Chain A
Amino acid sequence: MSTASVPLPAWISYGVIPLINLMLAFFFSGLVIWSIGENPFEALKFLVQGALGRGDAIGFTLFYATSFIFTGLSVAVAFHAGLFNIGSEGQAYIGGLGAALVALALDRYVPWYVTMPFAIAGAAIFGAAWAFIPAWLQAKRGSHIVITTIMFNFIAAALMVYLLVNVFIVPGKMAPETRTFLPGGQLPKLDWLMALFGLRLGPAPFNVSFVIALVMCFLVWVLIWRTKLGYEMRTLGVSPTAAVYAGVPYVRTVIVAMLISGALAGMMALNVVMGASARLQVEFVAGAGFVGIAVSLMGRSHPVGILFAALLFGILYQGGADLSFEMPNITRDMIVVIQGLVILFAGALEYMLRPAMVRLYQQFAGK
């Protein structure tokens, strides 16, 4: 009997298998670190301490994780509808423009909690707008979404550099960025939340966007599994022809799925632009859109999985930076290798261990 179809209890497929995969990834990373003559256990200690050892370390980890939750959700929503949105990077970049415009317009007049809903709307609308054209091209013209969204990443980068260098730049300043937002345009830090656990946030930019991200996790869960639209999207994702035959409007569903995906990506900008740097900078997305693909893949496109995968990547980002700081021999390229191994084992090779697990389970369950 094929082992692929044997159902495994949830705690094995969502708990034990990912954990073993992760351990494998760390084992091979350890070998790599050992081969360059460093102590892998020492390295692991630095990585974990750097990511979770202090209040500010946890703050940075959660800050990175917040960005990854947004982009992970963005990729997941499109994925449920059978669309591979590679454009979260560009959508987040343009989303930053939406958030920044709101912040620049309102920060002088109103406090942050008035600015926030408008900024969320601004970031979401701009992000969605950037996803609209690829979505329309896919739905109406059949232009492949992977190609068009990748191209739109570059168009977004070009547009933003142009705007920042020629329009928004503070005259006489070297760095292409907008002026600093006043407190009315900034999202406050969650230091009180950390204080509840007796931790000091310090300089880490862990902010209110994290709460927005959690809310979005819930809303995405409701959308995908509790609404008619979500059902249509999932049907479309499983089999487009069957979905169309069953009466699912193809064009509308594709476009709406991509709009939601783009909006979620756009909201990622709130975390960085309004939560951390309080200004719109070139390249602020810094690859978070692409990490979102890995996060969504590892999280099995489920909000809870995405939450954990985003946390894992937050740990790898923050801990990795700290590791290469503590051990100068471990360069930043080495950190990318470790991240790559984690994606390989926990994402791509997900099913490698499944047959063995099934056999083990069957033995123990006595079947």
Chain B
Amino acid sequence: MKKTLLSLFALAAMSATAFAAEVQPALVYGTGGKFDKSFNEAAHAGAEKFKAETGIDYRDFEPTSDTQGEQAIRNFASRGFNPVVAVSFAWTSAMEKVAAEYPDTKFVIVDSVVDLPNVRSVVYKEEEGSYLVGLLAGMASKTGKFGFVGGMDIPLIRKFACGYVQGVKAAKADAQIFQNMVGTTGAAWNDPVRAGELTKNQIDQGADVIYAAAGASGLGVLQTAADNGKFSIGVDSNQNHLHPGKVLTSMVKRVDLAVYNAYKDTQGDKFTPGVQALGIKEDGVSAAIDDNNKSLITAEMQAAVDKAKADIVAGTVKVHDYMSDNSCPN
């Protein structure tokens, strides 16, 4: 009897230490690399914020191929890292496999959905944020012509483009929008020179606001637009500061929050699996307005954005999601 009690105690003690949720955070980036000033860097910022607040260090990894991504996620899980956060839809199938192999580890995937009891899937309503920046673009433009430079022609980028077009048209119904993609390979996310050339081309056709949704390539869009005295719109991270007064706004996607919350929730033992769809209402996406672009945003534009936000939250304005039927109304 004594023995069983003792072993019960031991068991309780063991489970208690397990319960105290030892956080050992890990982060796997997309193949774009850590310092892309955009999507991956936002994830990095979230992890850094957690580290600064709690003093708990994290480990990260930059995979170069799909196989390496899966290996990295598995390596982290097998070494007891918890939670393991993987940003980019490219890790969907990897996450499906590894999360099933390690049911006691908590996983977070950003930009995609994995339906497993230990996985939190964080997706963003990029169409809503893109609608807002499109609205601002529509009001800032003098020519009525607009540019969109995407990285690669994949559903995610079409989602950005579709929201943008709707926002622009909400401000200027007869707007003309030029859309170009940087490339067809992974290099497309890291080719600022080519993105800049596309931007130049769009400017030559009359565009005076150009929205970049192309990872690190977007830096070329911002640079070219600034050089030619036109407006650009940044993406994922707040990029207003890169060319103060030249970047109209940035469509901020709070990837940092997804990473930070994953670590924080695990630490506080409040981790919940399931899908989190973050839109304007949840503060997951927004149009960045700060000191760098304040002078560009008129009171009228500010009012329009505030109204659009309220309408979207209230549901009176519905921004069409490309993913819902794989098509865009315009």
Contacts and interface: CB of A to CB of B under 8 A. Distances in A.
A257 B314 CA distance: 65
Contacts of A272: 67
B64 interface: yes
The number of chain A residues touching the other chain, given as a range, is 35 or more
Contacts, number: 84
B185 A157 contact: yes
A60 B154 contact: no
A351 to B, nearest CB: 31
Interface string A322-333: 101100100110
A203 B61 contact: no
B93 interface: yes
Given A161-B152, A325-B72, A175 B112 contact: yes
A176 B93 contact: no
A174 interface: yes
B258 to A, nearest CB: 15
A304 interface: no
Nearest to A203: B74
B66 A203 contact: no
A282 B71 CA distance: 18
Given A324-B61, A328-B59, A154 B184 contact: yes
Interface stretch (A40-48, A122-130, A165-173, A354-362): A165-173
Nearest to A288: B65
Nearest to A155: B184
B323 A174 contact: yes
B64 A325 contact: no
Interface string B172-194: 00000000000111100000000
B111 interface: yes
Given A165-B155, A283-B185, A175 B90 contact: yes
A203 B102 CA distance: 12
A286 B64 contact: yes
A102 interface: no
Nearest to B92: A175
Contacts of A234: none
A169 B153 CA distance: 13
A103 interface: no
Contacts of A328: 59-61
B92 A174 contact: yes
A157 B155 CA distance: 16
Interface in A144-158: 154, 157-158
Interface of A: 60, 63-64, 154, 157-158, 160-162, 165, 169, 171-177, 180, 203, 205, 272, 276-277, 279, 281-284, 286-287, 321-322, 324-325, 328, 331-332
18 contacts: A60-B67, A154-B185, A160-B184, A172-B323, A174-B113, A174-B156, A175-B90, A175-B93, A176-B154, A203-B70, A203-B74, A205-B67, A277-B66, A284-B66, A287-B65, A321-B72, A325-B72, A328-B59
Q: Which 7 pairs of residues, A with B, have the shortest CB-CB distance?
A: A286-B65, A157-B184, A174-B89, A158-B184, A161-B184, A157-B185, A174-B112
